[in-house]
Structure 1
Amino acid sequence: MNKLTAEAAWNECLEIVQDNISHQKFKSWFEPIKPVKLEEETLTIQVPSQFWYEWLEEHYYNMLRSTIAKVLGKEGKLEYSVLVERSERLEDNRSIRLPQRPMPPQKPQEMNTFTEYHPGKIENPFVIPGIRKTNIDSNLNGNYVFERYIEGDCNRLARSAAMAIADNPGKNSFNPLFVYGGTGLGKTHLIQSIGNKIKQQFGDEQAVLYVSSESFTNEFVQAIRNNRASEFSIFYRNIDVLIVDDIQFFSGKEKTQEEFFHIFNALHQDGKQIILSSDRAPKDIPDIEERLISRFSWGLSADLQIPEFETRYAILERKAVDNGITLNPEIIEFIAYNFKSNVRDLEGAIIKLLATASLKHVDEIDLPMAKNVLKDMVKSSNSQISIEFIQNYVCEYFGIDTNKVREKTRKQEIVEARQIAMYLAKKFTKSSLKTIGLQFGGRDHSTVIHAISTVEERLSTSPKHERILKELEQKIEVATL
């Protein structure tokens, strides 16, 4: 007759367990467990939930079985008292009793068999007790790599964080990484680049999974219908790097949000990497539980902005090379100036040029052809040059803030840029002198006349100013149809 108390027996078990797993895992999964009773050779322990029971059985079955044998003898048994879960709170002392599952018979060649994950079909990857890793399809697009992701001011923070994560997944301060921005700015490319880099560096050591929020929701619904929600949960909690795209589509889906909340907590607590994307910042996503919004902000939230001209130019060069065509710099400039909203539009312009050249059997694309082919894609607002467009362009050329030319400052470099912008506004727009003055901080028409006269005088006396104006005029002409 074993004279150990339940507490003493469990403490002996914990000493053995602590020597065989990491400190973090011990604190996460074993410290919350309470010994309940010891009758003959059966030790009953209380665990917080059904999931806790399943997790211990799937991950620590062999270790617990051998530990119980050492402490209670070869006839020793382990039984679980599982607290019944109600919503998010544990109900007093209500519980159900579950025995430790017996070891199923296995053939030698089955000991290292892995169950693959198939999108749209939930499979339990832990059918064999003691299994450590799963062989899953990561769902990553091999074309989405960092080498093809052009860096610029618009994405530098997000890309730098992504690179850091790829080198050290789960062991950095960017967990989760929340990337957000408008349509076509490269969110999917960036987050999948992280996954591809991790797979390249760590191979099967890291289980990486990319999934859209829509797929996650559909799989969860299917799992509920098939009474396999527990397997769905266990599968996702075993992923080392979870990448979820377009998280905003969880909006209004309460059950999906609740399931993802628990998966998020389990992964984060276990030091796994979480990467999310959305079309807006966490706080701006409607109908998302506050507790999720809070967790989305635990790591780093990085926005992707509309790429500036230099980045758009570099992207177009890369897209042209990827598609096997050669474009003259003036064509690239024309596209870069007229397609400003997102990267997807830039790629669409390249593809349309390529398709037209192929259909017409044209060996070389020139600027008139590019303008003609892309005229329907160019926004109508760019067909007529506005005063604001000229202000932005001139200030970008001189490297100053556009708002400066509208202020009352008399700094020489600001005054010069303002006068040139006024001169070009008169030349390239149909606006009156009064309208031009109003657009430059409410100045009157006499100020505009003086600016135009000053610029014309410099043109006749200064080769430097003549060159500057020529460059600006040529580039503005390229930017118009």
Structure 2
Amino acid sequence: MREYTNMTAESVWNNCLEFIKDNIQDQAYKTWFTPIKPIELTKENSLCIQVPSKFFYEWLEEHYVKILKVALTKQLGPEAKLLYKIQMESANTGKQPFTEQLPSAQRSPVKPQELDVPIQNKNPELKNPFIIPGIRNVKIESQLNANYSFDNFLEGDSNRLARSAGLAVANKPGGTSFNPLLVFGGVGLGKTHLAQAIGVEIKDLYPEKTVLYISAEVFTQQYVDSVKKNTRNDFIYFYQLIDVLIVDDIQFLSGKTGTQEVFFHIFNHLHQNGKQVIITSDKAPVEMQDIEQRLLSRFKWGLSAEIHHPDFETRVKIVEGILFRDGVEMPKEIIEYVAQNVSTNIRELEGAIISLIAQSSFIKREVTLDLARSVVEKFVKNVKREISIDYIQTVVSDYFDIDPITLRSKTRKRNIAQARQLAMYFAKKYTKASLASIGSQIGGRDHATVLHACRTIDNLIETDKEFRRHHDDINLKFNM
């Protein structure tokens, strides 16, 4: 054991900092080491340091544990230990320390109630990292659209699970097993509406809670700006203040390693402190590409609820709701005609109704079935029709002159297997169906088989000229 004469926590830590500063970039040093305070030096070769938050502690353990160990060993010998103290505040017990020992491989699990809550001793002049109209330093506007509510989010078989889970979350944010709540589905099916409706309901029921709705694209841009302006810590601290975080189109984070990293730690902080996270995506977690596995695993902690294309009865209700909102009356047969012929998504259904009302107003004619046929026919021509998986199988089978039943069979003959893989590839490209749904409809395969098929086709297109010609010929048929 080393002699502790004239050694203090401050002197040991300052010597560690000199070593660390010589071995990392200046900005990293300023961000992650200058906020640390030495607290105590014990005779058991342990140095206790204080860090601002649990996130801060996790980041040090994940990125700088080796250099910390080397620096401390130089000062206190091979048996040196590093303890962390994180200031926490509890309504019942006040502040209490959280200590952990280096290296991280020796850590024991931490009980949820021991984790830190809102950051202490934060500079009251802390600037908001956002550039969003309506958000100030202290008062945080939710960015919610009050027009998106549960009242005008009609329930049907296509969205019943997602809507019910959303209501449960709104009534008890952070207190259900639906945390996070991931709502996924195709374009124009109501994901954004539902996510915002949850936020609006929470604000009504719990006005004291801080709710923030933001798109993943804006989140990414704000993170990039914070890095450029050296305000990354402010950005992180700001998000740790949120009680209910709603992130739209989370798939936008694909391939953005830095943004995923910071979102991972923000997510952990919120979840561990009982805050609610709601995210939307145009695809299921299993289909998200270029998203880190540890982030995807957290998306699966709660509930993933898919919103499907609305059935006919739901589309009728939607049309009736639009007409009621706009104070327009329309015969039942016309409502049903529009609902029957515009079946892709809710956004296009609303567009068709608005076009019909506008046409009637412009030409000063009563809305008739003939007018509806004319308007819907023109509208549908201008909207790319959704290509079904059945249609894709028919096109591919006809091209290779094989029977669709044979295409879906278990045979592994090379020509049939490649045709089957092409069908899966085009189904993924031209439909919003999940990989599991595609595999199920094309011979009862699983999602992994479909993913493998898509990768195989991508490789063949790059390496086999004849196969690329087959691909291009079939592809043209879907774009005529």
Given the two structures, how large is their TM-score scaled by the length of structure 2?
Answer: 0.57
Displacement of 1:323: 2.0
Amino acid at match of 2:195: I
Secondary structure of the equivalent of 1:371? helix
Displacement of 1:121: 8.2
Give the aligned partner of residue 161 of structure 2.
157
Equivalent-residue separation in structure 1 for 2:60 and 2:384 (angstroms): 63
Equivalent-residue separation in structure 2 for 1:381 and 1:255 (angstroms): 37
Give the aligned partner of residue 342 of structure 2.
339
Give the aligned partner of residue 174 of structure 1.
178
Give yes or no for contact 1:122–1:219 (8 Å, CA) kept in 2.
no
Secondary structure of the equivalent of 1:211? strand
Give the aligned partner of residue 417 of structure 1.
none
Equivalent-residue separation in structure 2 for 1:45 and 1:173 (angstroms): 36
- 1:77-98 per-residue CA deviation (whole Å, 9 max, x = no partner) reads xxxxx99566385644348999
Q: Where in structure 1 are there 5+ consecutive unaligned residues?
A: 7-32, 56-81, 101-110, 126-133, 390-481
Amino acid at match of 2:63: S
Amino acid at match of 1:233: I
Q: Is 1:271 matched up with 2:274?
A: yes
Q: How does 1:58-77 map to 2 (within 5 A)?
A: none
Equivalent-residue separation in structure 2 for 1:99 and 1:154 (angstroms): 49
Cα distance change on mapping 1:211 and 1:329 into 2, 3 Å:
same
Amino acid at match of 1:281: A
Give the aligned partner of residue 87 of structure 1.
63
Cα distance change on mapping 1:379 and 1:153 into 2, 3 Å:
farther
Give the aligned partner of residue 300 of structure 1.
303
Displacement of 1:51: 4.8
Range with greater deviation from structure 2 (209-218 or 327-336): 327-336
Cα distance change on mapping 1:355 and 1:87 into 2, 3 Å:
farther
Q: Is 1:316 matched up with 2:319?
A: yes
Amino acid at match of 2:263: F
Give yes or no for contact 1:331–1:367 (8 Å, CA) kept in 2.
yes
Equivalent-residue separation in structure 1 for 2:379 and 2:157 (angstroms): 26
The Cα RMSD (Å) is 4.0
Give yes or no for contact 1:114–1:135 (8 Å, CA) kept in 2.
no
Q: Is 1:142 matched up with 2:146?
A: yes
Equivalent-residue separation in structure 1 for 2:330 and 2:136 (angstroms): 51
1:238 to 238, 241, 249: 241
- 1:153-208 per-residue CA deviation (whole Å, 9 max, x = no partner) reads 000000000000000000111000000000000000000000000011111x1100
Displacement of 1:148: 0.2
Cα distance change on mapping 1:313 and 1:113 into 2, 3 Å:
farther
Cα distance change on mapping 1:97 and 1:226 into 2, 3 Å:
farther
Cα distance change on mapping 1:285 and 1:112 into 2, 3 Å:
closer
Q: Is 1:195 matched up with 2:171?
A: no
Asked which structure has the greater CA Rg, the reply is 1
Amino acid at match of 1:369: L
Cα distance change on mapping 1:347 and 1:88 into 2, 3 Å:
farther
- 1:113-172 per-residue CA deviation (whole Å, 9 max, x = no partner) reads 9977854489894xxxxxxxx421111111100000000000000000000000000011
Cα distance change on mapping 1:83 and 1:218 into 2, 3 Å:
closer
Displacement of 1:380: 9.9
Q: Is 1:365 matched up with 2:341?
A: no
Q: Is 1:355 matched up with 2:387?
A: no
Equivalent-residue separation in structure 2 for 1:218 and 1:155 (angstroms): 31
Equivalent-residue separation in structure 1 for 2:135 and 2:179 (angstroms): 27
Amino acid at match of 1:216: F
Cα distance change on mapping 1:114 and 1:356 into 2, 3 Å:
farther
Cα distance change on mapping 1:344 and 1:382 into 2, 3 Å:
closer
Cα distance change on mapping 1:274 and 1:188 into 2, 3 Å:
same
Cα distance change on mapping 1:352 and 1:121 into 2, 3 Å:
closer
- 1:400-446 per-residue CA deviation (whole Å, 9 max, x = no partner) reads xxxxxxxxxxxxxxxxxxxxxxxxxxxxxxxxxxxxxxxxxxxxxxx
Q: Is 1:46 matched up with 2:49?
A: yes
Amino acid at match of 1:346: L
Give the aligned partner of residue 257 of structure 1.
260
Give the aligned partner of residue 103 of structure 1.
none
Give yes or no for contact 2:149–2:196 (8 Å, CA) kept in 1.
yes
Secondary structure of the equivalent of 2:380? coil
Cα distance change on mapping 1:178 and 1:97 into 2, 3 Å:
closer
Cα distance change on mapping 1:149 and 1:83 into 2, 3 Å:
closer
Amino acid at match of 2:167: M
- 1:314-349 per-residue CA deviation (whole Å, 9 max, x = no partner) reads 011001111221111111111111111111111101
Given the two structures, how large is their TM-score scaled by the length of structure 1?
Answer: 0.57
Q: Is 1:226 matched up with 2:201?
A: no
Secondary structure of the equivalent of 1:377? helix
Amino acid at match of 1:378: V
2:332 to 316, 329, 332: 329
Cα distance change on mapping 1:381 and 1:112 into 2, 3 Å:
closer
Give yes or no for contact 1:122–1:232 (8 Å, CA) kept in 2.
no
Report sequence identity in percent. 44
Displacement of 1:230: 0.3
Secondary structure of the equivalent of 1:170? coil
Displacement of 1:361: 2.9
Give the aligned partner of residue 440 of structure 1.
none
Cα distance change on mapping 1:118 and 1:287 into 2, 3 Å:
closer
Give the aligned partner of residue 374 of structure 1.
376
Displacement of 1:226: 0.5
- 1:64-114 per-residue CA deviation (whole Å, 9 max, x = no partner) reads xxxxxxxxxxxxxxxxxx9956638564434899999xxxxxxxxxx9999
Secondary structure of the equivalent of 2:359? helix
